A = this chain, B = another copy of it.
């Protein structure tokens, strides 16, 4: 015999298409598997990224595509658009990478004598929450540690408080936030932080979330961790350069994202969530029949799949 009887896989078909099932429920699998639900979606349940709300970030290792969230952080997003269009991120650097927490980048340094143009805001009050009334909020049925209710809004992991009537985006893997100092009005979207680990939720309602990475997370999550406190890169700085950061409207159509996102207010997404919450493949012998907001992955498909 050549090998120990090796378990070749921890065979979770991507959690996206299969999730646990409660022991006592093994006999009552949902009629439709998550993969079947996705195959049966209608064309109008999928959306492409809006170029005006998409940031293409070119790193040496590859491209990161971010969907911006102007409905939650309109003034930060407006500034980010202006910074990108003005080329102020190009040549900037990822100067902080803290394991299990964040990767953070800064814009390029201005040249001698150069000034920031007037249309770029210097400081913007934190944009923490919005009126939940009328939002396309798809709630998740299970308890959350940090918020009274969690769910998805327009593809973004979110929470809301029925008592106050407020809703906010929450920090999950891939959340993009605006860095700030102690003054909640000191951020402006020029330094962005992306959650590359598990920790993040304690930041909810303290930091402005401006968007969510839709592809290319591995180009950020694999970056060398910073050698200084809080993961900041110290001298000599082995920082990663932001080669080019463009707003989608400045990206030739042929080079734009070639995937679509399942609308989280669609009937199919609601069915998908219920299915991944309780469905399983043969690997699972137990399910809590629960689904956390950061585990509620939003399905994507190649644009030509439609």
Contact = CB atoms under 8 A, between A and B. Distances in A.
Contacts of A178: 7
A204 B2 CA distance: 31
Interface in A1-51: 1-15, 19-20
A5 B123 contact: yes
In this complex, the interface size class of chain A, counting residues with CB under 8 Å from chain B, is 35 or more
The complex is assembled from copies of this chain, and their number is 2
22 contacts: A1-B110, A1-B116, A3-B116, A4-B122, A7-B178, A7-B188, A10-B102, A11-B182, A12-B203, A15-B199, A20-B202, A99-B221, A100-B174, A143-B144, A145-B288, A173-B197, A182-B283, A197-B221, A204-B286, A205-B288, A222-B222, A222-B223
Interface of A: 1-15, 19-20, 88, 96, 99-102, 104, 106-107, 109-110, 115-116, 120, 122-123, 126, 128, 142-147, 172-174, 177-182, 184, 186-188, 190-191, 193, 197-199, 201-207, 217-218, 221-225, 230, 232, 282-288, 290-292, 294-295
